[in-house]
Structure formats: structure tokens, C-alpha cells
């Protein structure tokens, strides 16, 4: 028994080192394949550090590829496991995971969620410092990096999309992100208002360095572009877009807690499942997929799926409510895992027109390669979102009551 355990550890360590070599060569898909091999079938306190390290590395690979939902899944699991045991905290890994989650949400244009992870990072640092814990390199405040990014976004939003500006500004004010506050006040009330704000925030000594930059930014002829989509988190619907195996995916999400969680979980499953798929061996007949996630007003006990006939793409509508979401959480998310597995298999069947035998061969290969383990290994994303990202975070009301 002990010999088998030591052999498993050695095998996992070898696969992890191989994955890191692929990562250094920027071959992130091969790195993910090796990281899947190095994951342990069961999690124990003896292998907890290696498991957390694996999730963080997998998340980093997904970020490099641009699969942010799959990355979010891995990093949320890393954060969850890092804080699982009070007597065995992995503080540096927990803080690193939160920094990476902030980065993911910034990439997705989900600024409210990004600031949630920033806030949680600062709260935990404060708590662990008071408890005389050593924070490590990831305990350094990084609000300055986020602040400078948001200041740029505020300038763009003020001139391009006032709804987004009105959504972000109260949040940066709550969190006292100094640079963003100064830029916002300058945009709203002119240079003198910005100068006054800097003085109130005890940044008047920084004003001489900032004034030229602020003055240029607020000028009417100053144009600033933001890459990617910035989400107005007060919108009725939000969209998530990504492309994989030559197929464009659009997730159209009614801006509700349960819809967000289901959409992000299925999106993460799709990205992880297909990341190493050899679908060039199959005949893909669709190049667009659109999934819509809506509130179920009929209060069914299960998630309702409706196929929509559309000659241009595969279209489905998923309807969810509190009752059906609770069912997905049963048995530590087993119901939800089975639901996502069914959706992945249905999607593969609808994308291709190959004979069943060819599809079976592809699925056998994907199983051996670890596609199912990658997509569903520790349960769906919503299991960890439910634990660490409560309902008010997604509807924005957290910022009405939270102080920095």
C-alpha cells in the first residue's frame, strides 16, 4: 500500500515537471495534458500542496490560451483547497489564486467581480496579519495595478458608455482606489475637482506628477481604446464569447445569480473538455453555437432545456431557478456534474455528422487523454462559486453595503 502511494506520488511529480517544461516552451495544451496526469484521484492532506499547485498551474495554462472560464474553475478550486483546513492553511497559494482570479475577471470585462477578488485578497491579508501569519510574496498589495487599469477604463467609459462609468465609479469610491477616484472626479467636475479629490485623499504631493496626465485624459479630443468587451453589470443580459476547435460560442446570460453560475460552469466545462480534442478527425458541420440562460418562471425542479431551430447555428435555451439549482448541488455537486457531462456529449453529437463508431473512438481517446477528468474532475464551477462568491456579488448590491 505504501509502495503504491509512493509510486503514485513519483509519477505525479514526473508528470508535473514535464508539464512545466511544456509550459516554458509555450506549449500550453501539452502542459495541460501532463497536468491532468499529475492530478490525484483522491485528495488528502498529504497530497494537498501538490494538488493546489497543479490547479494553479492549470489555471495559468488556460489564461495563456484565453480560456478564462476554465481558468476560473481551476483557480477557484485552488483557493478553496488552500483555505480548507484551518490547521493547514496554504496562505501564499490562496493569495496567488485571488490575484489570478482578479486578473481573469479584468480580462473578461467583469469589473465588479474583479474588484470582489481584490477586496477578498485585502480582507484575508488583514486577517492573517492580525493572526501573525506569514503572507509570502503574494501578500503584497496589488490595488495599485488594478487602480491604474480602472482609471483608464473610467476615462474610456465616460466618453463612450456612461452606463458603465456610472456602474464602476461607486465601486472604486467605496474601495478608495485613489487614482481612479481622482480621474473620475476630474472627468465629472474638471481639473480643479480632481485636484481637490487628491488633497482629500492625502495625495496632494502626487498631484504635480498626475496633473498633466489627468489634463490630457479629460480633454475632449483625447481618444482611448479599451481592448475586449467591458461588461455593464447592471445590464439585463450579458454575453460571454470564445472560440474553440473552430466553433464560435456565444453564451447569452440573463443577469441573474443562478444564470451566471450555470453559464460559467457549462462554459468552463466546454473549454476544458475540448481544449485538446482531435476533432480534425471528425466532420464538424456547425461553426456557431449559441446558448441562452434564462430564469425559469415556472419553478420546475430540474433545469429546462429548449432546442431552438436555427439554420445558422446550434441554439439552446436553458432555464433555471432556485429549486433546480439546489438540485444540481445535491451530493456535493454530483447532480450538476452529471448535467454538464450530458450537455458536453450532446454538444459533441450535434457538432459532428460522423458515424457512431467514429465518435466512440474519439470519445475513447478523449477519455484516456483526460478530457472528462479535466472538465469535471472536482465538480462543476458553480459548486465553488456558491461557496466563495455569494449572490449579492453578481447583482452588484454588495457595493451598496460594503466599505473598504
Q: Delineate the domains of the chain, giving CATH numbers in brackets.
A: 2-139 (1.25.40.10), 145-218 (no CATH), 237-394 (no CATH)
Number of alpha helices (DSSP H) and beta strands (DSSP E) in the chain: 19, 5
Instruction: Give first-to-last CA distance, the chain, whole Å.
Output: 51
**Is there a contact between 398 and 116 (Cβ–Cβ < 8 Å)?**
yes
Task: Give me the pLDDT at residue 404, please.
Answer: 36
CA gap 107, 115 in Å, rounded: 13
Which grid coordinates belong to 128?
A: 492573517
Task: Give me the pLDDT at residue 173, please.
Answer: 82
**Is there a contact between 397 and 167 (Cβ–Cβ < 8 Å)?**
no
DSSP conformation letters of 47-78 = GHHHHHHHHHHHHHHHHHHT-HHHHHHHHHHH
Task: Give me the pLDDT at residue 1, please.
Answer: 44
Task: Give me the pLDDT at residue 45, please.
Answer: 64
Which residues, in sequence order, are bridge partners of residue 320? 295
Q: What are the contacts of 5-13 at 24+ separation with CB within 8 A?
A: 8/40, 9/47, 9/50, 11/37, 11/38, 12/37, 12/38, 12/39, 12/40, 12/47, 12/50, 13/38, 13/50
Task: Give me the pLDDT at residue 382, please.
Answer: 78
Sign of the torsion angle spanned by Cα atoms 105, 107, 111, 115 = positive
Q: Which of 237, 171, 185 is nearest to 214 (CA)?
A: 185
Characterise 396 by phi-psi region: left (phi > 0), alpha (psi -120 to 50), beta (else).
left
Task: Give me the pLDDT at residue 392, please.
Answer: 59
Would you tell me the crossing angle of helices 178-189 and 162-174 to the nearest 10 degrees? 130
What does the buried/exposed string (b/e) look like for 190-229 if buried means 16 or more CB atoms within 10 Å of the residue's CB?
eeebbbbbbeebebeeebeebbeebeebbeeeeeeebeee
Q: What is the CB neighbour count within 10 angstroms for residue 392? A: 15
Residue length of the chain: 404
Residues of the chain falling short of pLDDT 50 = 1-4, 401-404
**Is there a contact between 378 and 77 (Cβ–Cβ < 8 Å)?**
yes
pTM of the model: 0.88
Q: What is the CB neighbour count within 10 angstroms for residue 125? A: 19
Amino acid at each position: 500500500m505504501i509502495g503504491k502511494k509512493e509510486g503514485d506520488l513519483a509519477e505525479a511529480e514526473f508528470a508535473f515537471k514535464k508539464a512545466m517544461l511544456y509550459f516554458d516552451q509555450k506549449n500550453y495544451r501539452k502542459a495541460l495534458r501532463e497536468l491532468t496526469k499529475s492530478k490525484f484521484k483522491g485528495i488528502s492532506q498529504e497530497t494537498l500542496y501538490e494538488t493546489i499547485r497543479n490547479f494553479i498551474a492549470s489555471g495559468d495554462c488556460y489564461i495563456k490560451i484565453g480560456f478564462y472560464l476554465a481558468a476560473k474553475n481551476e483557480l477557484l478550486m485552488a483557493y478553496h483547497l488552500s483555505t480548507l483546513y484551518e490547521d493547514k492553511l496554504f496562505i501564499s497559494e490562496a493569495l496567488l489564486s485571488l490575484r489570478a482570479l482578479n486578473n481573469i475577471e479584468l480580462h473578461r470585462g467583469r469589473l465588479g467581480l474583479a474588484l470582489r477578488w481584490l477586496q477578498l485578497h485585502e480582507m484575508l491579508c488583514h486577517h492573517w496579519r492580525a493572526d501573525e501569519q506569514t503572507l509570502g510574496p503574494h501578500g503584497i498589495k496589488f490595488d495599485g495595478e488594478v487602480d491604474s487599469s480602472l482609471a483608464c477604463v473610467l476615462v474610456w467609459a465616460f466618453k463612450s458608455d456612461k452606463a458603465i462609468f456610472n456602474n464602476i465609479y461607486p465601486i472604486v469610491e467605496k474601495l478608495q482606489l485613489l487614482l481612479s477616484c481622482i480621474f473620475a472626479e476630474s472627468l465629472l467636475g474638471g481639473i480643479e475637482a480632481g485636484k481637490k479629490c487628491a488633497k482629500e485623499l492625502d495625495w496632494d504631493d502626487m498631484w504635480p506628477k498626475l496633473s498633466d496626465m489627468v489634463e490630457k485624459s479629460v480633454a475632449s479630443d483625447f481618444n482611448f481604446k479599451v481592448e475586449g468587451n467591458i461588461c455593464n453589470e447592471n445590464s439585463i443580459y450579458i454575453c460571454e464569447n470564445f472560440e474553440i476547435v473552430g466553433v464560435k460560442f456565444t453564451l447569452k446570460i440573463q443577469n441573474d445569480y443562478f444564470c451566471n453560475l450555470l453559464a460559467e460552469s457549462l462554459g468552463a466545462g466546454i473549454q476544458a473538455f475540448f481544449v485538446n480534442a482531435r476533432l480534425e478527425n471528425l466532420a464538424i458541420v456547425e461553426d456557431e453555437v449559441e446558448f441562452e440562460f434564462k430564469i425559469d418562471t415556472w419553478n420546475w425542479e430540474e433545469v429546462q432545456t429548449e432546442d431552438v431551430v436555427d439554420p445558422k447555428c446550434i441554439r439552446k435555451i436553458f432555464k433555471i431557478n432556485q429549486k433546480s439549482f439546489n438540485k444540481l448541488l445535491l451530493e456535493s455537486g454530483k447532480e450538476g456534474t452529471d448535467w454538464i457531462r450530458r450537455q458536453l456529449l450532446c454538444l459533441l453529437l450535434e457538432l459532428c455528422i460522423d458515424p457512431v463508431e467514429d465518435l466512440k473512438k474519439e470519445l475513447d481517446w478523449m477519455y484516456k487523454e483526460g478530457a472528462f477528468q479535466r472538465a469535471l474532475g472536482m465538480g462543476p464551477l458553480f459548486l465553488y462559486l456558491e461557496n466563495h462568491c455569494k449572490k449579492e456579488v453578481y447583482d452588484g448590491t454588495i457595493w451598496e453595503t460594503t466599505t473598504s
